[in-house]
Structure 1
Amino acid sequence: MCGRFALTQTEKEVRELLGYLEHEDFPARYNIAPTQPILVVISGDRPERGSNLPDRRALLVRWGFTPAWVKDPKEFPLLINARAETAIGKASFRAAMRHRRILIPASGFYEWRRPSKENGEKSQAYWIRPKRGGVIAFAGLMETWSSADGSEIDTGAILTTSANRTMRPIHDRMPVVIKPEDFTRWLDCKTQEPREVQDLMVPVQEDFFEAIPVSDRVNKVANMGPELQTPVVVDPSIKPSKEPDAGGGQLSLF
């Protein structure tokens, strides 16, 4: 799954990759956590006259997906991730997969290697970033939830897939990364049905990411500085946990 990520590039750098109409500037964020606002890019109504940018716009949504049919969000689990393998058929995500696919810009994400309980080891946090650096785009879903009094809140989730061989020693899931050449097809909910973009929801190539061990300071939401991504030395005597079965637990929502 993906429970924390970062977006540290400038608004200009993000906009140049994702090609949306200008958005207000935003600060670097090194520890984005569930329930916080996240920047997402959606397909717009139409391009601005005279603009050579694609038909896209950016907005902020709450990270934590709430289906439109939920009556009380307090009684519904916080859906920060959606499994790509089952999202098309899941009641929670079916409508969003068809009508509200989004891109979520990121500089990378954090993941924890959870050792087996019997060996008494501590969890190890990793900062996982693209080897080439820069901004990437996670596949995501969006839903607008309306309360009984008419107030609305935009919510979103990150789509995940089975981990590739590089990621598997750390965790059995990873975010779906959409390549720039596929942005338009992914966001096009008018002509591209979910089954027609299913080929995009696969693990990224093996050499795309690098995993850097970092301190457990990222565990605390209050820690928000660049020091969270400072590498630490991992005890060489600690072996990575056994590679989990990437196909296990497929009935889980996450």
Structure 2
Amino acid sequence: MCGRFALTEPAARLEEFLDVMDVEEFPPRYNIAPTQPVLVVISGDRQLPGSNLPERKAILVRWGLTPSWVKDPREFPLLINARAETAIGKASFRAAMRHRRILVPATGFYEWRRPPKETGEKSQAYWIRPRSGRIVAFAGLMETWSSADGSEIDTGAILTTRANGSIGRIHDRMPVVIRPEDFARWLDCTTQEPRNVAELLTPVEDEFFEAIPVSDKVNKVANVDPDIQEPVAEALIAPPSAQRKKRAKDDDSGQLSLL
């Protein structure tokens, strides 16, 4: 899954990478969390001059997709991610997959390796960023929810897929990465149906990202300074054989205590 990410590049670089205009300048964001506003790119209504491609627009949406048919968002789960393998068949995402696909720019994301509870070992957080150091664009979906009084809110979710080899040692899911050469296809919901872009929803190659162990400061939404990305010594996870021996020892100790 993807529960936290960062976007720290200036507006000029975002405009160049995403081929959009008028991105509002904002401070670097090191710990973007669900329900917060996130920058996304959508396909506009007008065509680019001298091209048959539609223009792209950068807008802000709330991270946490709310389908248009939901009556009360307070009684609906927060959908920050959508599984790419099943999104087209899910009522919550079906319409967005066909009509409202978006790009979510980021400079990286955070993930946690969580050992089995019985080991008593601590979770390890990782800052996962492109090895190239450049911006990355995640595949996303958007819905506009309207309240009874007519007010509207744009909402979005990030698509995830199975983890590649390098991320798999940390978590079994990861965000879907859309390459710049595929931006137009992904955003084109007029001529490109979900089946036409299905091959884009696969794990990026193993070498694309690097995973840097960081402290648990990222766990708290209030921590938004760059120091949450500072590397730390990686917590060692006991191998399965050692975990089994520890559990067996604990079981033996429990039995003896009853005698």
Q: Map Cα deviations across residues 154-197 of structure 1 (whole Å, 9 max, x no partner).
A: 00000000001111110000000000000000000000000100
Q: How far did 1:55 drift?
A: 1.1
Corresponding residue of 1:210: 210
Q: Map Cα deviations across residues 67-119 of structure 1 (whole Å, 9 max, x no partner).
A: 00000000000000000000011000000000000000000000000001111
Distance change in 2, residues 1:132/1:123 (3 Å): same
Aligned residue pairs total 241
Distance change in 2, residues 1:240/1:31 (3 Å): farther
Distance 1:231 1:45 in 2: 44
Q: Map Cα deviations across residues 34-53 of structure 1 (whole Å, 9 max, x no partner).
A: 000000000011146589x9
Which aligned pairs between 1:1-254 and structure 2 lie closer than 5 A?
1-47=1-47, 55-235=55-235, 237-239=236-238
Query: Which amino acid letter does the alignment assign opposite residue 196 of structure 2?
Result: E
Q: How far did 1:200 drift?
A: 0.2
In structure 1, stretches of 5+ residues that fail to align are 243-254
Query: Which amino acid letter does the alignment assign opposite residue 161 of structure 1?
Result: T
Tell me, yes or no, if the aligned pair for 1:116 and 1:241 is still in contact at 8 Å.
no
Tell me, yes or no, if the aligned pair for 1:170 and 1:241 is still in contact at 8 Å.
no
Aligned sequence identity (%):
73
Corresponding residue of 2:255: none
Tell me, yes or no, if the aligned pair for 1:160 and 1:174 is still in contact at 8 Å.
yes
Tell me, yes or no, if the aligned pair for 2:108 and 2:127 is still in contact at 8 Å.
yes
SS in 2 for 1:5: strand
Distance 1:49 1:175 in 2: 33
In structure 2, stretches of 5+ residues that fail to align are 242-259
RMSD in angstroms over aligned alpha carbons? 1.8
Query: Which amino acid letter does the alignment assign opposite residue 59 of structure 2?
Result: L
Tell me, yes or no, if the aligned pair for 2:45 and 2:54 is still in contact at 8 Å.
no
Alignment TM-score, normalising by the size of structure 1: 0.91
Q: How far did 1:239 drift?
A: 4.2
Query: Which amino acid letter does the alignment assign opposite residue 237 of structure 2?
Result: I
Higher Rg of the two aligned structures: 2
Query: Which amino acid letter does the alignment assign opposite residue 207 of structure 2?
Result: D
More helix by share: 2
Query: Which amino acid letter does the alignment assign opposite residue 193 of structure 2?
Result: E
Alignment TM-score, normalising by the size of structure 2: 0.89
